[in-house]
Amino acid sequence: MIFFLTFFFLILYVGIIVFYKTSWTKIPLHNYIKINDASNLPFISIIIAARNEEKNIGACIQSILRQTYPLDKFEVIIVNDHSTDNTTNVVLSFKQGNIRLINLEDFTEKKVLNSYKKKSIETALQFAKGELIVTTDADCIAPEKWLETLAAFYKDKSPVFVALPVAFKNASEQDSFLQRFFINFQSLDFMMLQGITGASVYKKFHAMCNGANLAYQKKVFYEVNGFEGIDAIASGDDMLLMHKIQNRYSEKIMFLKSENVIVETAPAETFKDFIHQRIRWASKADQYTDKKITAVLVLVYLFNVWIFILSICSFFSLKIFYYFLISLAIKIIVEWIFLYPVAKFFDKQKLLWWFIPSQPFHIIYTMVAGFLGKFGTYEWKERRVK
């Protein structure tokens, strides 16, 4: 029985990772094309929901203002989500005419919501002038050719929804060894998810994205009735919306693979923040209408649980110990083969030295986050969410 289950999980897991690796390498790189004729460019509305982001929002806005895209062709709408710090004043210190601040409390009338971020985006869309909506987060830094590359891709391919790559910021030399390990562990795990995102969207296998860097047509948002039907779910302003749009425009959902559009975001600062983030991501798994992604998540969860069970049982049986070693070795090898081209795209090959030491922590956190995502609660922006 143990041999059968081990063989069963290995075949399925190796098969899905090989599929992702093959698919990722087939995604064509979108080369940068400088746009000389600005008359036919789409107007872009960038929406940022911010809550207590005084330390980050200034750098985020500055990175957007450095865009090579014409200033009169985009706007930035920051929605202040009941911040209790200096976020509002930081935003107001920018005097550019294409930056707008909205206070969410002016539109919620003291209502208690379960998804303040969805409400923030929904409110901003009422004022957005762009045909193309781009969402990012207040702790993100955008590269200079971000909007110009996206606009060229949009004009060339005519997508209705675009998933774009996101990377965690690198650890600094001033960080301690444990801090660097923690940041690099998160970066490796997140790169794996980004590789799966690109591969699955490109192959139309299932739909994934990250709200720190995505774009969609404003008219399509309203065509699918926006967040209606998913507004009671705390997270999912990205993937749950993507799935609604996918149901109507399955062939127009695309992934933009270009170094020019990689947005950098901050990793979790503490282990508690990290676990709560991953619980939040896992909590919406049973809400996906695209059941293929649910099946993949269940497979990944059960495979990691099975490896953990084998590791415990190894203390009582040498034969089971061999099964454990073989399973762990195959997991490491197949994931590394997949991760290498993804890390190369993000220019983070050096992080692969941390890959093997990260494995025990990856297995344990996958089990914990997966379980608590279904049965636990988490904190998000200083709010307790069920």
pLDDT tens across 236-252, in order?
788 899 999 999 998 99
The pLDDT tens digits for 27-85 are 999 876 666 666 789 999 999 999 999 999 999 999 999 999 999 999 999 999 888 99
Res 66: pLDDT: 95
Res 286: pLDDT: 66
Res 171: pLDDT: 84
The fraction of the chain above a pLDDT of 70, given in percent, is 91
- pLDDT at 382 > cutoff 70: no
More confident residue, 172 or 332: 332
φ, ψ of residue 101 in degrees (nearest 5)? -110, 130
Res 114: pLDDT: 63
Place of tokens 């947005």: 263
**Local confidence band at 374 (pLDDT 50, 70, 90 cut-offs):** low
Q: What's the rounded Cα separation, in Å, for the pair 42 and 44?
A: 6
- pLDDT at 275 > cutoff 70: yes
The pLDDT tens digits for 26-43 are 999 987 666 666 678 999
The pLDDT tens digits for 180-209 are 999 999 999 999 999 999 999 999 998 889
The fraction of the chain above a pLDDT of 90, given in percent, is 65
Res 38: pLDDT: 67
Half-sphere exposure of 208 (CA within 13 A, CB side): 25
Q: What's the rounded Cα separation, in Å, for the pair 3 and 80?
A: 55
Q: At what angle do helices 291-313 and 318-345 cross, to 10 degrees?
A: 140
- pLDDT at 383 > cutoff 70: no
Helices (H), the chain: 2-26, 57-65, 87-92, 105-108, 116-125, 146-157, 177-202, 218-223, 239-248, 271-283, 291-313, 318-345, 355-375
Res 380: pLDDT: 53
